[in-house]
Structure 1
Amino acid sequence: MRKIVVVDYPRDWDEAIEDTEVVDAQSYLTDTSYTDIRNARVFNLCRSYRYQSAGYYVSLLAEARSHKAIPSVTTMQDLKSPTIVRAITVEIEELIHKSLSGLKSENFTLSIYFGQNVAAKYEKLCKALHDHFQAPLLRAQFTCKDAWVLQSISAIPINDVPASHRSYLKEFAKAYFARHRFSGARISRKIYDLAILVDPQEKAPPSNQRAIQHFVEAAESQGFYTELITKDDYRRLAEFDALFIRETTAVNHHTYRFARKAFADGLVVIDDPTSILRCTNKVYLAELLTKAKVPIPKTMIIHKDNRKQVEAALGLPCVLKKPDSSFSQGVVKVKNQEDLQQQLDEMLCDSELIIGQEYTPTDFDWRIGVLDKQPLYACKYFMAKGHWQIYNWNVAKKKDEEGAGETVPFEQVPFHVLHTALKAANLIGDGLYGVDLKEIDGKAYVIEVNDNPSIDAGVEDRILKKDLYGAIVKSIKKRIDNNKNIRSNGES
């Protein structure tokens, strides 16, 4: 990806940075050769981002050309919003207090150059503010009455950087480009930037570490610079072309916020926010699958007014599910009326609606992986030892938490299982899904459709090997290319 630093006047930036070109704003705005560049990252160091100024138009036209602009026009607007400034104060209140508690004055100004300050003790605070406001040069104003609060934050015109700070500015700029791998011969061959969202502390992530490494290798072999990010990197999403979520998703969770922001910013996203909304709510799935006449076990949407009808409708034992349950958590089997009423009391206290299903025991569940509305892999997930579910989180030994998995060639998968899985997944969208089914008396019943399906090295990849990871990355790359073609056609 081409790296371009844009300034009002060439004298504003005379530091040579490897594999980065410096151009003046007038040239970037008017020279048609920049319009034709397909992949570029634009670092806007103009003196002003005022509405309709040259600096404003640099970022605006960069976005119109599908270039990655830092700062984006959205960030420029955020810098002027008191509401957003107040929200950030609340979000990083503890860090502000910890960083500034030793100061005796009532006012403090923090200059942030490429995410750093000349005083190392403010490093964490600078990083947090820079993550929220992705602009090269920032000035944060703090005031203290009862506690320190962020009063305002604004861009620093590059010609306002004191002479005594210029050496730091250049040092921080070099570190910034190196840290983000914007320079260097190896990276210059990369076409796209892919972020993989992970949680290193997650107990049961959708991909184990070996699988994540295979994804990285597959992406880099197809021309991606790939970086593993965490929930702390929310404000960095604009740096990437695509987001691939590899931690368990939920609506009231940072994974959904990441997906929503990335989608709004024009990134390719797997899992996209619509798929997360649809798949993570069992009530929605039950309604959708029933309406589409996709076979499912006998199912009942339970609420406070029909809770007394559960036993008559489903029999006992039956299964109760919280709407946002996943990985066998929030799913219980009730054996008798007393147990049923106790679980209903607890679940209906948290949600107006829950799901009840007839108990349909099988030795294993089918899992059909689906990508781009086509089958990707097929597995049998066997029940955990001595348990009725695939996962059993209440065992003493970790090895007994999860049942075995067996990958199956498509030619050995019954047609009705594949057909039913595709019908269910295609109701959700064209993303990456895992459809769970039970096969009973020669008929397939959908248990659920999962966004963010498990892809572990040694399980789902046993047949396709590294081609499984390559297929998913290829789909992401194709989506990026399609997006760029749509934008190009719209601009022509």
Structure 2
Amino acid sequence: MRKIIIVDYPKDWEEAIEDTEVVDAQTYLTSPTYTDIRSARIFNLCRSHRYQSAGYYVSLLAEARGHKPIPSVTTMQDLKSPTIVRAITVEMEDLIQKSLSGLKSTSFTLSIYFGQNLAHKYEKLCKALHDHFQAPLLRAQFVHKDNWVLQSISQVPINEVQEEHRKYLKSFAKSYFARQRFSGARINRKAYDLAILIDPQEKAPPSNERAIQHFVDAAESMGFYTELITKDDYRRLPEFDALFIRETTSVNHHTYRFARKAFADGLVVIDDPVSILRCTNKVYLAELLAKAKVPIPKTMIIHKDNRKLVEKELGLPCVLKLPDSSFSQGVVKAKNKEELKEELDKMLETSELIIGQEYTPTDFDWRIGVLDKQPLYACKYYMAKGHWQIYNWNGKKQDEEGDGEVIPFEQVPFHVLHTALKAANLIGNGLYGVDVKEIDGKAYVIEVNDNPSIDAGVEDKILKKELYTSIIKSIKQRIDNHKNGNGRTEG
């Protein structure tokens, strides 16, 4: 497996280490040379890993390409979570107190370079923290009150490593890169009943009130205690056995933190955090689908260096999408050169990479619901009145959303069903909604949604209550697998 160190600038990593190569982030993100590598371990030493930065996209696209990034996007999000950090403190309580017992101060900063520290006495603590938060360069902040507590842990930008630490950094890196395996730790699970996460104020939730009640009825008929929870119930997650998210998900949002916290605590989660990360970023999806040769409309990943090629590659009008857009928000049609420039200027201010696609108008999109890698339902979603999308947020209230029509599977073209399943199964084995356009007898995947709409009176028209029962049965089976020691079911 190739070992590739990614940096923002070549000067950030000038040490020559056997069997590793150094590549700058822009080259890795945009050069076809790295898209087609079959097996690679990516060591992401970019200066910033903030959401939608170049460092963020290095790890995100590494996952889409089948490479193995350190840190992963999941680790990046875990490092931001005070709850995950507190859970680690509890689990490592004895080790933390033993390792720091000789200190007289009330605060302590521990630098962890490739799992090691300059002082040998912190070796076990460094290794344990690195196993939980797999990132090459970490800084852990501890404070002492009655006991030592891990206050925060963050990544250290490569350019901020102290000069006197550089020689140790090189030595630690050599032993680190000589390792054959990179493994991580898990937080022990706790088990309780079913929580359904909703937002009563959400304008367009994935399930309407009647559908939520059908989920509750189905769960209670199978012996679940079921409770509707909101973002204010974060601390209560350990009370439950499973979490079912029924509000619109996003990575920089409490829905992801709920999923990640629940997953870390060992709950069964739909939508699981891996599926949220994969589905909510259209840059990741474009890379993943293209690599797997799943048909998609002509697509390009746009950045500041290739923006002038958009019109030539995609023509006008074309569709531009922010990576984390959902329910048609953050998706625009650029009809001419002026609109193209204006929209690119706005979007590239927000994200280093955005998606551009050729404009492919149709009267409706297919939506194939998929659960446990099997088709669950099929719908036709018609475009909003007088609009090119299913949702028209600028229209009159009665015209905001197009109609939905449930279709029996025997009436769904085989190529639509087959293509949708292929796309969903690349994400995981959770609950997904795959949007497909059918053009000239061919199926093209538009996106895979981790949080598909299930509304009473729409998606349930054929299966009726069996639709809700099927999903709850899947959750119950996953719980049983956990309790029987069959391992974690993950998207």
- Equivalence map 1:297-312=2 (5 Å): 297-312=297-312
- Equivalence map 1:60-71=2 (5 Å): none
Q: CA deviation at 1:153?
A: 10
SS of structure 2 residue aligned to 1:439: strand
Paired position in structure 2 for 1:405: 404
- Equivalence map 1:22-421=2 (5 Å): 76=90, 193-395=193-395, 397-421=396-420
Q: CA deviation at 1:235?
A: 1.1
Give the Cα–Cα distance (whole angstroms) in 1 for the partners of residues 229 and 89 of structure 2.
Answer: 20
| Alignment-mate amino acid for residue 334 of structure 2 | V
Q: Deviations over 1:221-268 (max 9, x none)?
A: 011000001111111111111000000000111111111111111110
Paired position in structure 1 for 2:430: 431
Give the Cα–Cα distance (whole angstroms) in 2 for the partners of residues 384 and 153 of structure 1.
Answer: 59
Q: CA deviation at 1:347?
A: 0.1
| Alignment-mate amino acid for residue 347 of structure 1 | M
Count of aligned pairs between the two proteins: 315
Q: Is the 8 A contact 2:481 2:487 kept in 1?
A: no
Paired position in structure 2 for 1:447: 446
Structure 2, unaligned runs of 5 or more: 1-85, 98-105, 107-144, 149-190
Give the Cα–Cα distance (whole angstroms) in 2 for the partners of residues 418 and 215 of structure 1.
Answer: 26
Q: Deviations over 1:246-299 (max 9, x none)?
A: 000001111111111111111100000000000000000000000000000000
TM-score (norm 1): 0.61
Shift of the 233–316 alpha-carbon distance from structure 1 to 2, 3 Å rule, reads same
Q: Deviations over 1:181-234 (max 9, x none)?
A: xxxxxxxxxx96100001111111100111000000000001100000111111
Give the Cα–Cα distance (whole angstroms) in 1 for the partners of residues 456 and 237 of structure 2.
Answer: 27
| Alignment-mate amino acid for residue 346 of structure 1 | K
SS of structure 1 residue aligned to 2:485: helix
Shift of the 488–303 alpha-carbon distance from structure 1 to 2, 3 Å rule, reads closer
| Alignment-mate amino acid for residue 248 of structure 1 | T
SS of structure 1 residue aligned to 2:469: helix
Q: Is the 8 A contact 1:192 1:223 kept in 2?
A: no
Q: Is the 8 A contact 1:195 1:242 kept in 2?
A: yes
Q: Deviations over 1:153-204 (max 9, x none)?
A: 99xxxxxxxxxxxxxxxxxxxxxxxxxxxxxxxxxxxx96100001111111
Paired position in structure 2 for 1:469: 468
Give the Cα–Cα distance (whole angstroms) in 2 for the partners of residues 218 and 469 of structure 1.
Answer: 6
| Percent of residue pairs bearing the same amino acid type | 82
Give the Cα–Cα distance (whole angstroms) in 1 for the partners of residues 421 and 440 of structure 2.
Answer: 20
SS of structure 2 residue aligned to 1:436: strand
Give the Cα–Cα distance (whole angstroms) in 2 for the partners of residues 479 and 488 of structure 1.
Answer: 9
Q: CA deviation at 1:74?
A: 6.2
| Higher gyration radius (CA) | 1
Shift of the 77–374 alpha-carbon distance from structure 1 to 2, 3 Å rule, reads closer
Q: Deviations over 1:392-445 (max 9, x none)?
A: 0002x3111100000000000000000000000000000000000000000000
TM-score (norm 2): 0.61
Q: Deviations over 1:48-87 (max 9, x none)?
A: xxxxxxxxxxxxxxxxxxxxxxxx98685699999xxx9x
Q: CA deviation at 1:486?
A: 1.3
Q: Is the 8 A contact 2:192 2:239 kept in 1?
A: no
| Alignment-mate amino acid for residue 468 of structure 2 | Y
SS of structure 1 residue aligned to 2:484: helix
| Alignment-mate amino acid for residue 297 of structure 2 | P
Aligned-residue Cα RMSD (Å) equals: 2.5
Runs of 4+ in structure 1 off by over 2 angstroms are 72-82, 151-154
Shift of the 413–264 alpha-carbon distance from structure 1 to 2, 3 Å rule, reads same
